[in-house]
């Protein structure tokens, strides 16, 4: 069974540029999470989807961050414009199929110059 797929794995951009990250969850998983992991820190939840509905986006900085999961499967997280402080790893996780476990993808490492 394929795991959570994320792309790109690495992204380097200049500040003020837009950037997008893509996540494809494990097949059949209805719940999808985006986490932000700063260097030397644990992941912090940005947004949680149940199917196509964002049920917890309280930690998402909505002035520059947006996310969508239009068909309830894959998801895109966007930053526009990016700031230096956005340099971090962006992790996607999914849960479903009767399990309580969140399965994480490898993450996208973003560097903003």
Partner 1 sequence: AQSVTQPDIHITVSEGASLELRCNYSYGATPYLFWYVQSPGQGLQLLLKYFSGDTLVQGIKGFEAEFKRSQSSFNLRKPSVHWSDAAEYFCAVAKLRDDKIIFGKGTRLHILP
What does the binding site for partner 1 look like in residue numbers (CB under 8 A)?
Answer: 3-4, 31, 33, 40-45, 48, 56, 91, 93, 95, 100-107
**CA-wise closest residue to 54 among 70, 41, 37, 38:** 70
Between the CA of residue 84 and those of 3, 26, 89, 91, what are the distances in Å? 30, 31, 13, 18
Residue 59's nearest CA partner among 82, 43, 83 is 43
In angstroms, what is the minimal distance from the CB of 67 to partner 1? 15
Q: How far is the CB of 46 from partner 1 (least distance, A)?
A: 10
Of residues 72 and 106, the one with the C-beta less far from partner 1: 106
Which two tokens mark 68?
């969508």
* Residue 112 structure tokens: 């903003």
Q: Which is nearer to partner 1, 38 or 80 (CB)?
A: 38
Residue pair 92/6 in contact (Cβ under 8 Å)? The answer is: yes
**Which residue's CB is nearer to partner 1, number 13 or number 45?**
45
Q: How far is the CB of 8 from partner 1 (least distance, A)?
A: 13
Residue 14 or 56 having the CB closest to partner 1? 56
Minimal distance, residue 16 CB to partner 1, in Å: 28
């Amino acid at each position: 069974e394929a795991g959570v797929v994320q792309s790109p794995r690495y992204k380097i951009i200049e500040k003020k540029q837009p950037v997008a990250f893509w996540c494809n969850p494990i097949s059949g998983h209805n719940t999808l999470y985006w986490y932000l992991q700063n260097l030397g820190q644990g992941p912090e939840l940005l947004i949680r989807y149940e199917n196509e509905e964002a049920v917890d986006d309280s930690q998402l900085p909505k002035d520059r961050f947006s996310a969508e999961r239009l068909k309830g499967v894959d998801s895109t997280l966007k930053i526009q414009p990016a700031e230096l402080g956005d340099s971090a790893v962006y992790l996607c996780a999914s849960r479903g199929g009767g399990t309580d476990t969140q399965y994480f993808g490898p993450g996208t490492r973003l560097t903003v110059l």
